[in-house]
Structure formats: structure tokens, C-alpha cells
Chains A and B, each alone.
Chain A
Amino acid sequence: MTNDFDPQDPKITAYALGELNPAESADMAKLLSQSTDAQRAVRDIRKTVGLLKTEFQKEAKPSLSKEHRHTIEQTLDPGNTAKPFPSRRTANRSRKRIPVWITACLLLVIASVWTFQSDLFKRKNGRKTEIVADNEFSHSPELLKYDRNEKNHLAAENSSASASPQKDRVGKRNDSRNAGQSQQEKTLSTPSHSKRKRRSQPFELRSKKNRDANRSKLGKITSPSKSKSGVSSFQGFSPQKTQTKNYRSTKKPGSQTVQELKEGIVQKLKQPEPIKSGKVLQIEPHRELRGRRSGYRDAYSRFYLTPKTSNRIRKQNRLFGGKSDSLHSGTSFSRSRSLQKNATKDFFKAQKKQKKPSESSKRKLFDSKTKRFFKLQNLDKNKKSSQAELKEKRKASNLKKNLDAAKEEKEADLSDDVVKPNRNEIVVENEFLPAMRFPNSTFPLDVGTVSYSEIVRYISKGQLPPPSVVRIEELLNAFQYANPKPKNDKPFAVTIESGKCPWNRNNTLVRIAIEGREIESSVKTKATPQPPLANDVELNVQFNPAKVGWHRLIGFEDGLYETEKTTDKNQFFAGHSVTALYEIAPANRSLLAGELLKNRYVIPPKLNHRNKNRHELLSIKLSYKLPGTNRTLSMIAAHTPRKSASVSNDFNWTAAVAMYGLLLRNSQYVGDANLELVRKLAITSQGKNPNHRRKEFLDLVEKTIELVKQPGK
């Protein structure tokens, strides 16, 4: 044992913590008596430990949920039968038992139906021959109509252009076999005709017999001579000669007597009206529905429960109007973006309507007038008061007053030489949307930076920019970020980060960055135009309603994007990047329930609590086509927040910039934001070597603070 104290030796810590054995401890005590450094080290260690312990004690101790505790209790005491709620384990077991029960019930039902059917068939068969032989007209008209519909489907299904439903109808009705069968079907059928139709249709199509019959039908149209019975013998009976002919051709050769055929024609003549083909086509939507299910699953199974539940809602929504359908039960991804847009659009429209219920022409007039008014308002140097005034006026939507004020100010301030804003549209802010109803969101991938330079222009002139000029998304995208580059030849890399929202501590801020691959310098020659990295790029942000109560896209607020986006091909170019921010309010059960109860016609989608994705906050899906190809590829990035994970400088920088934008825009969602906070956050997150732009932004913030401090500003 040396007498030198080595601060790197873990033994000193072990000694201070009483972890050494007696022999080592005695050695250490000896050392301590000789070295003041060692003494200080031990003292410091104990003090640090003391600090740590007091801090640890302050940390709240979480506890198990009732459900978790109950599961443990049940395992401990299986005799306890009280079940305040189903534990996970028992729930599992009961769920496993359900299919067995269902199968058993189904088997029973099928068996009983089958016995009943065969019984009935026997009876009917016995009677059938008599009936048909005597008088086929004894069938009720409903029955005939019914049977007729049935056959019409068949005809439509086979889409034979020449074989019209009418021709088919005659033949089948007169077919004694079919008549009997139809009666039997009627007895068994449920009151809902359409339901029955649907059920019987695929069966009939599958039946080989029917297929053969249909095939022969088509064949016989071109070669009627093949039929055994003479067709010409009753051509004279009917004015609808050709139909009769066709009827004959649909029939199996030799399966009908001349007597039967005669009866058929007579009945045909008695039939009052021809069937409208529209009835037949009604069946189409159901088939379409079946086909689209896969797309729906694709977009929705991530956070929601079984497709069955949602499918039911889909059907219901179909009844009560189409739009909520897509929003609730999900759509294929390719449609979701436009639908989301429409939804948002509708939402804003509805908002505007509330403020001013008028026709679109009136609105246009209002817009143009308010625009003018707003432009003139901007001439006023007293920005804050004018904005407050404007807000009030907008709320009241008193057009005349606005115009009067505008005229007055126009006269007063016309000579003033100030910067004129280029964009004067009144921008409605994005609202917080409930994630349960609107799980999908999107934003355009092409963002300019004009707003940033405009703000710089205003501030440099000693003037606060009018809110309409401030576009937060353009501010965010005016800076360069150290996003990770795409790997493995992928065209993009997606970065998702989440952290506390600096202006509202209860909320979470999510930064999404999409970085395009850079093309090597050899290609980069200026003469050749750069090809896009990908075409038809579509972005879908999907929120997990179990974690996200409400979400709000910050920026991206004008209708401009919608019109611009439709014209280009959603191309993504090399080296391009987009950054967007979402503010997220955490999921709150009672709030969600309230939100869902609002619609009495909609069954709320159920969260899938057993889903492997249930811990995710959100996921992003990018679908795209590589240039020169026509195949849609897609990539998904999911984000699960971790408590211990810290966020990047870029995250804080974007938060600061967004906060600045919110303040300049007089946003209603500004929360605790203030310019001082912006400055602090921007300084701490500017990075080690801030580039020119970032320094400029800091200057901008400083200047803005000064501007605001000046009296009268």
C-alpha cells in the first residue's frame, strides 16, 4: 500500500460508501490520515451522495395501475372471484374461447337450416310437379318478381351485351325447376331482399351448373338451331319474338316440354312491365367495397382495432353521407392526403361560415374588400392596435364599417412611404384536431422561404411585419439543419424528434424533417437540369390516438398550397429538405369520449390496445415513384418517445423560430411564448459554428425586442 493518494482509484469511493471489507477499510483509513486530498475527496463524495439522495427522494414514486395490480392479486389469490375489471390474462383466455362458441353456434344454425331446407325441398318437389303441370300462374307475383331479379343479377354479372335481362327472365321463370326453387328460396329468405341478393350471388356464380348454363346461353344465341325443340313453333305468339328466341337458347337442350314453353310465353305476355336494368346494377357498390378493403387496412390497422368494426362504420357512413366515412374508418393511403386536405378545408370553411354565413360570391366580395382594408391597415404604423381592431372587426364581420375605416385611413395615410406587403390574405390558423377523428395529417413537401426575407425587410426598416406576411413554415425552412442523410440509396431520410413544447409545457412538440439525397458533384454540372429524386411523393403523418389527443400543424396555413400543389407532380429534388412542426396535446380519455359522443350516427373506432404499435406517438409514411418507373414505393418511419432521450440543437432552434413566428403572427396558440424566451432558446441552440443565417436570426430577434420595447409600437 503506497501512501500516495490516487484520485482515480475507485477504492476511495468504495470507502466513502462503506463498501470495503475491514482489511481494505483499515488501509484506506490509514491513507486518509496522511492525505488531506483524500480527506477532501471522501468529504466531497459523501456530500455529492447526500445531494443525490435528497434529489432522488424528491422523485415521485410511480405505482402500478389498478389493472396491473389486480392481475397480480388474482394470481396470488385465485379463490378471490371478485372481478372489478377483466385482467389481461383472463381477457386473453375468454377471447380464445369465443371462436369455439361461435363455431359451435354456427354449426348448429347451419345444420338446422340444412335439415329444414331439405325437408322443405322434399315437400315442394312433391307439389311442384303438380303446380307446374296445372297452372304455373298460381305463384304469387312477388315470388316471380323475386326470381326474376335473381336471374337478372346473373345476367348482369355475365355482362353479356346481347342477352338482356328480359330474355333471361322469361326463360328462367318458365323453367319448372327454377320456379320450384324460387318458391323455396322465398320461404327461406329474410325480409331484406338486397341482403339475400348479395348472399346468393357469389354462390350462383361459383356453381358450376350455372356457369355451364350461362356459357351455353351465350353460345346458343349465335347458334339457336342447336336446341332440340322447335323455336319457330311459337314465334307467332309473341310480339317480342327475339326475346323468346333467346329464352330458348338459355335453356338446356331437352329439359323443357313444348307445353311448358307455351305456358311460359303466355305468362311472359301477362307480365306487366319490363325490368329496369338499374336495379341490377345496384349490387355493384358492394363488390367495390370488398375490393377496397385491403387499402383501408393498409392505412388503418396501425393503431385501430379490427377491420370488421371499422367496416361496419364505413357502411354506416355510406348511408349518412360520404365524407366522414373516409375520415373515420380510414382510406387507402393514396387518397388520405387529399381527404385530409378536404376535411381541413371543410373545417375552415365551416369556421368562416360561422363568422359570416353567406354565398361564395358574397364571400369573394368580402375577401377582396377585407384585403383592401387590410392592406390599408398595414399602412398604419400602430400595428398592435390595428391588429386588435381588425380582429374585432372580423368577428363582427361588419363590412361597411371596415370600408369606411379603410377609406378614412386611405385618405389620411396615402402619402406614407412604407413597405407594402405582397401577401395580404387573411390566414386562418390551423386548429387543434382530435386525433381520434383525424388521425391522418399531411403537409406539402415544397416550401419557399420568401416570408423570412420579407420579415427581415420589415424589421430592417424598423417596422413590425404584419401577421399576414409571417409564414411559420417558411421561417422554419429558411435555415439549414444537420439532418441525417439518406442511406442505402434511399431517396429520403425521415427524422422525427419529440420534446416538450417550450411555449406550452403540457404539450409535446414534434419535429419532422425529410432530407433528400444529394447527387454527387459530377452530376451537379450547371448546364444539365437536375432530375427529380422521386415523383408523386405523398406524405402521410398518422397519429396514435392512444397517445395523441389533439394535434396541430404549425404553419402551412394558407390555401395557396392546395392550388399550387395540384399543378406540379409532387416531385422531390436532390438536396432538398423540408421541416415541419406539430404541436401535440396528450391523449385524454374523458376529452376523447366527449369528442366522440358528438356524432350520434358514428360508432367510434376502437383503439387496439394489443397492437404492437401502441406505444408509438406517430408514424410517417412516404410513398413515391422513382423517376422512370411506375411502381409506388413507400417508406415508414415510426416514432416512440423516450423519456431519457434529449433533443437536438436543431429541435430547439426550430422551436425558437416557430415561437418567434407565432408571436409575430399574433397567434392564438402562442401560450407562454415571449421574445425573451425566443432569444434564450435560440442562443442555447445555435450550435458551435452558427452560419450567417442563424446569426442574422439572432439579430432579428434582438431588433424585434427593441422594436416592441419602443413606445407606440
Chain B
Amino acid sequence: MNSDDQINRVDRIRSALGTYEGDLLRYARKITGDLGRAQDVVQETFLRLCKQNLDALDGHMAEWLFTVCRNKALDVRRKESRMSTMAETNYLEENRDSAEPSKALEIEDETMKVMTHLENLPDNQQEVIRLKFQNGLKYKEISTVTGLSVSNVGFLIHRGLKTLREKLRKELAADL
């Protein structure tokens, strides 16, 4: 009986790993900015899942995984940023006026890239939009993961989509 429970538990964690591994890695990479660190973060997340009571997580698995992953990724980022110099940080914040050379050229050529517009959105809007449309979370789940209120999540998604719609107006009109 006990061993059956154990096997069941292991299977559930394995299936969670299969389902969410890629999504979590993408999410953590977005926050930490590096795949290596993202892998560390996701590993830690699943190690914590192993210690968790899975029955309590029933139906909230995605929510729980994304929350833990986000917190860990933010921890990592915080530690890293403490090490980067002041000058550098300020500089990057002040001068976010153009994309990378390759990207700058792409923009010139094809002005209607959704992703480039998305990348130009504020970080918090990008995050909720990704959680919503890439990972398929509900407003409520996103609210748990990010610690924002549901209405705030709705507002951020609305604003983000509105900006995108404005940027993509031509394309949307052409498709009509």
C-alpha cells in the first residue's frame, strides 16, 4: 500500500516535470536572463515539489510550480544584481532606446513583428501576457503567482494587449 502510494507520487511528479519543465525554464530564463541559472532554478523548484504534499496541490500544480519558480528566480536575480556595478545598471536602464544591432535591422525590414513589440512592453506586462497566453494560466492563477490582485492582472494584460493592438493596427486592418 505504502509502496503503491510512493509509485503514484513519483509518477505524478514525473508527469509534472514532463508537462511544465519547458514552460518553467522559459519563464525562469526570462527572469534570470540565462538558461544555466534557469535550470538551477527549475531543479530547485522540482526538488521542493518532491517534499510537498501532492494532494494539497491537486488542481493547483501549475500555480504552485510557477510561484515557487518565480520566487527562486527572483532570488537569483537579486543576488546577481547585487554584484553588478552601479554604473552598468544605471546605464542599461537609461539607454533602453534601441534593440540589438541585428534586431534593429530586422525592425527596419519587417515592422510588424509581434515579438519585437512584445519585448518593448514593460516587464510586468510582458510577464503576465506570457503567463496568460504562453502558459495558459487563468487571471486568478496569475494573481497567485505574481502576488498581484486579479484586477491588477486584468489591467496589465489589457494595457499590454492594447499597446500591441495599436502597434499592429496595420496588420490587423489588412487581415480584415
Question: B13 and A76: CB pair below 8 A?
Answer: yes
B158 interface hit (Cβ, 8 Å): yes
Interface mask (B106-121 → A, CB under 8 Å = 1, otherwise 0): 0110000011001100
Query: Which of B25, B115, B129, B133 gathers the greatest number of chain A CB atoms within 10 Å?
Result: B133
Interface mask (B151-176 → A, CB under 8 Å = 1, otherwise 0): 10011011101101100100110010
Q: A486 to B119, alpha carbons, bound, how many Å?
A: 30
Question: B86 and A487: CB pair below 8 A?
Answer: yes
- A615: which of B80, B94, B155, B172 is its contact (CB, 8 Å)? B80
B88 interface hit (Cβ, 8 Å): yes
Question: B101 and A13: CB pair below 8 A?
Answer: no
CB distance from B13 to the nearest CB of A (A): 6
- B43: which of A68, A612, A681 is its contact (CB, 8 Å)? A68
Question: A494 and B87: CB pair below 8 A?
Answer: yes
In the complex with contacts A63-B21, A497-B91, A76-B102 CB distance below 8 A: no
B92 interface hit (Cβ, 8 Å): yes
In the complex with contacts A10-B158, A640-B80, A684-B104 CB distance below 8 A: yes
Question: B17 and A72: CB pair below 8 A?
Answer: yes
Question: A644 and B119: CB pair below 8 A?
Answer: yes
Q: A509 to B101, alpha carbons, bound, how many Å?
A: 10
B38 interface hit (Cβ, 8 Å): yes
Interface mask (A659-680 → B, CB under 8 Å = 1, otherwise 0): 0000000000000000001001
A51 interface hit (Cβ, 8 Å): yes
Interface mask (A476-489 → B, CB under 8 Å = 1, otherwise 0): 00000011101100
B47 interface hit (Cβ, 8 Å): yes
Q: A650 to B171, alpha carbons, bound, how many Å?
A: 31
Inter-chain contact count A-B, CB under 8 Å? Answer: 203
Question: B88 and A637: CB pair below 8 A?
Answer: yes
Question: A652 and B101: CB pair below 8 A?
Answer: yes
Question: B102 and A494: CB pair below 8 A?
Answer: no
Nearest CB to that of A498 among chain B residues? B100
CB distance from B72 to the nearest CB of A (A): 13
B53 interface hit (Cβ, 8 Å): no
Question: A643 and B139: CB pair below 8 A?
Answer: no
CB distance from B98 to the nearest CB of A (A): 5
Interface mask (A51-92 → B, CB under 8 Å = 1, otherwise 0): 111011001011111001101100111000000000000000
- B25: which of A14, A64, A495 is its contact (CB, 8 Å)? A64
CB distance from A704 to the nearest CB of B (A): 19
A459 interface hit (Cβ, 8 Å): no
- A487: which of B42, B87, B92, B171 is its contact (CB, 8 Å)? B87
Question: B108 and A615: CB pair below 8 A?
Answer: no
Question: A643 and B39: CB pair below 8 A?
Answer: no
Question: A505 and B102: CB pair below 8 A?
Answer: yes
Q: A48 to B158, alpha carbons, bound, how many Å?
A: 12
Question: B157 and A484: CB pair below 8 A?
Answer: no
Interface mask (A598-635 → B, CB under 8 Å = 1, otherwise 0): 00000000000000110110000000000000000000
Question: B85 and A62: CB pair below 8 A?
Answer: no
Nearest CB to that of B97 among chain A residues? A649
Q: A648 to B99, alpha carbons, bound, how many Å?
A: 7
Specify which chain B residues have a CB less than 8 angstroms from the CB of A642 in the assembled complex.
33-34
**Chain B, 40-93, CB within 8 A of any chain A CB:** 40, 42-43, 46-47, 50, 80, 83-88, 90-92
Interface mask (A206-227 → B, CB under 8 Å = 1, otherwise 0): 0000000000000000000000
B105 interface hit (Cβ, 8 Å): yes
A residues contacting the other copy or chain, number (CB 8 A): 76
In the complex with contacts A71-B47, A496-B88, A644-B30, A64-B98 CB distance below 8 A: no
Q: A646 to B35, alpha carbons, bound, how many Å?
A: 17
CB distance from B56 to the nearest CB of A (A): 18
Question: A615 and B34: CB pair below 8 A?
Answer: yes
Question: B114 and A55: CB pair below 8 A?
Answer: yes
Specify which chain A residues have a CB less than 8 angstroms from the CB of B46 in the assembled complex.
72
Question: B108 and A645: CB pair below 8 A?
Answer: no
Q: A72 to B15, alpha carbons, bound, how many Å?
A: 13
Q: Please report whether the interface of chain A is mostly helix, strand, loop or mixed according to DSSP.
A: mixed
Specify which chain A residues have a CB less than 8 angstroms from the CB of B151 in the assembled complex.
10
Nearest CB to that of B30 among chain A residues? A644
CB distance from A350 to the nearest CB of B (A): 34
Q: A61 to B168, alpha carbons, bound, how many Å?
A: 26
Nearest CB to that of A87 among chain B residues? B43
Question: A650 and B133: CB pair below 8 A?
Answer: no
Specify which chain B residues have a CB less than 8 angstroms from the CB of A45 in the assembled complex.
161, 165
Nearest CB to that of A644 among chain B residues? B33
Question: B158 and A13: CB pair below 8 A?
Answer: yes
CB distance from B80 to the nearest CB of A (A): 6
Q: Which residues of B contact A (CB under 8 A)?
A: 10, 13-14, 17, 21-23, 25-26, 29-30, 33-40, 42-43, 46-47, 50, 80, 83-88, 90-92, 94-105, 107-108, 114-115, 118-119, 123, 129-130, 132-134, 138-139, 151, 154-155, 157-159, 161-162, 164-165, 168, 171-172, 175
Q: Which residues of A contact B (CB under 8 A)?
A: 7, 9-14, 17, 19, 44-45, 47-49, 51-53, 55-56, 59, 61-65, 68-69, 71-72, 75-77, 482-484, 486-487, 493-497, 499-502, 505, 509, 612-613, 615-616, 636-652, 655-656, 677, 680-681, 684-685
Give me 15 other A-B pairs in contact (C-beta within 8 A), A10-B154, A64-B42 excluded: A14-B154, A17-B132, A48-B165, A52-B164, A68-B42, A76-B10, A484-B94, A494-B87, A494-B88, A500-B100, A615-B34, A645-B33, A646-B99, A647-B98, A680-B108
**Closest 9 CB pairs between A and B?**
A61-B22, A642-B33, A10-B158, A648-B95, A502-B101, A13-B158, A68-B43, A56-B134, A10-B154
Interchain residue pairs with CB less than 8 A apart (26): A9-B158, A10-B157, A10-B158, A45-B161, A48-B114, A48-B172, A52-B133, A55-B115, A61-B22, A62-B22, A62-B25, A62-B29, A63-B25, A64-B21, A68-B42, A68-B43, A69-B17, A484-B94, A487-B87, A495-B87, A501-B101, A613-B83, A641-B33, A655-B101, A677-B105, A680-B108
